[in-house]
Amino acid sequence: MGNIIVTGAGSGLGRALTNGLVARGHRVAMMGRRYQKLQDLEAELGQAVIGIAADLSHHEEVEMAFAAAVEWGGLPSLVIHCAGVGEFGPVGVYTAEQVRRVVENNLVSTILVAQQTVRLIGERGGILANVLSSAAQVGKANESLYCASKWGMRGFLESLRAETKGGPLRLVNLYPSGIRSEFWDNSDHVDPSGFMTPEDAAEYMLDALEARSSCHVTDLFIGRN
């Protein structure tokens, strides 16, 4: 696949995707907000990866991060965007700061990363894969803000798919249902102990992203046991 960009690579699913890609022989430009976590992964995986700290909800930081990735490994053949945050609780408890945080880190970052990907490889071809959630399919109690951001992502990406139809850029939307990670640390309405592991979800996703000669996955829904 050549150079691959993974956002949200410092922990959870993003980290598992990075590990899985390196195990399959790829080089990964890892993006995330917490540089120390990226450094830890760099120390573990060596020259196959580079860590690029960035807040992907800011246009200029997205541009700088992608420029750094291209300088390191060339134009990406695959961009996997799985950076995101969650705030949970019943409607009425969210502060303006929480609303902005979720919308910016989930929806705005998706738009900015997609725009930058289209600019770089829209005419050349490649894959843009976005991790959404089962929360982009059905409303969930105590997750209204998170669902709103994920439904917004889905609407944007489906519109982008319509715009790029017939072109060489493939869009893949990934919908996992409940991944066990630190993502749920600030939630008390679910018990994540029975959720799928990041490693299992990552393997399904990476298998799905391997295109066949005459077909490819457009949407992948992963349910938990």
The mean pLDDT of the chain is 88
- pLDDT above 80 (res 100): yes
More confident residue, 184 or 149: 149
CB atoms within 10 A of CB 168: 11
The answer to which of 16-20, 60-64, 116-120, 187-191 has the lowest mean pLDDT is 187-191
Q: What is the pLDDT of residues 129-140, one digit of tens each?
A: 999 977 777 777
- pLDDT at position 184: 46
The number of angstroms, rounded, from the C-alpha of 108 to the middle of its chain's C-alpha atoms is 13
Q: Between the CA of residue 145 and those of 81, 135, 178, what are the distances in Å?
A: 20, 10, 16
> Order of strands across the sheet with 3-7?
49-53, 27-32, 3-7, 76-81, 126-131, 169-176, 219-222
Task: Please answer whether residues 127 and 205 qualify as being in contact, where contact means their C-beta atoms are separated by less than 8 angstroms.
Answer: no
Which domains does the chain carry? Answer: 3-222 (3.40.50.720)
Q: Between the CA of residue 90 and those of 94, 113, 140, 188, 195, what are the distances in Å?
A: 8, 30, 10, 12, 22
3-class SS of residue 174: strand
- The pTM of this model reads 0.91
Q: Which two tokens stand for residue 111?
A: 């738009």
CB atoms within 10 A of CB 205: 23
- pLDDT at position 10: 87
3-class SS of residue 66: helix
Task: Please answer whether residues 80 and 129 qualify as being in contact, where contact means their C-beta atoms are separated by less than 8 angstroms.
Answer: yes
